[in-house]
Structure 1
Amino acid sequence: MSTIMITVIDREGAEHSDVDWEDDESLMECLVRNSFPILATCGGNASCSTCHSFLDQVSFETAGEIDEDEADVLDSLTEDEREPTSRLTCQVPWDEDLEGAVVRIGPF
């Protein structure tokens, strides 16, 4: 099993460095396994926004295209909730090129 290390910024602004992300997980699964407050209400099916987070710009570009289902959910967020680098973490697959990514957990 391969792992990469990422940094997670929680809702209080605390930075958690060296969070391990395993190659058989989505970003959402990594965050849940590491006890971050991600609800994942829909179970990773891109039908809710409870795993919404923000990626740093480079990681956002590396993570690939946003598909139509994810775009629809992100479009339902308010202007205050969404940022240009918003993603549903359930739709971000592990990729070794995401080593060092910075993920800021979105609002509830």
Structure 2
Amino acid sequence: MSSITVTVIDREGNRTEGVDWKSHESLMEALTRHKYPILATCGGNASCSTCHSYLDPASFAKSGEIGDEEEDLLDMLDDTRHETSRLSCQVEWAEDLDGAEVTIAPEW
């Protein structure tokens, strides 16, 4: 099983480097495994937006296409959506994301 590491910035601004992300996990699953406060109410089905996060611009460009369901949910997050917003449940593991910086979005 392969893994990469990412840097996570929590809602209080605390930065943790070297957070491991295993190849069989979505980003949301890696964050919840490390006990970050991601509700994941829908269980990773892109239907709740409780796993909203921001990626650094370079990693956002490598994170894959945003599907219609994810786009619809992100559109509802007017106050907290940024150019690099993603639902972490929809970000699949990829070696290219090694070293990514992930900021957990504010709760809405």
Q: 1: distance between equivalents of 2:105 and 2:41? A: 15
TM-score in terms of structure 1 length: 0.98
Q: Residue 63 of structure 1: CA displacement?
A: 0.4
- Count of aligned residue pairs for this structure pair: 107
Moved over 6 A (4+): none
Query: For residues 12-91 of structure 1, what are the structure 2 equivalents within 5 Å?
Result: 12-78=12-78, 80-91=79-90
Partner amino acid for 1:87?
Answer: R
- 1:67-92 CA deviation, whole Å, 9 max, x = no partner? 000000000112x2110000000000
Q: 1: distance between equivalents of 2:44 and 2:64? A: 17
For structure 2, list consecutive stretches of 5 or more residues without a partner in the other structure: none
Q: For residue 36 of structure 1, give the secondary structure of its aligned residue in structure 2.
A: coil
Identity %: 63
Q: For residue 59 of structure 1, give the secondary structure of its aligned residue in structure 2.
A: helix
Q: 1: distance between equivalents of 2:75 and 2:45? A: 16
Match for residue 100 of structure 1? 99
What's the C-alpha RMSD, in Å, of the aligned pairs?
Answer: 0.5
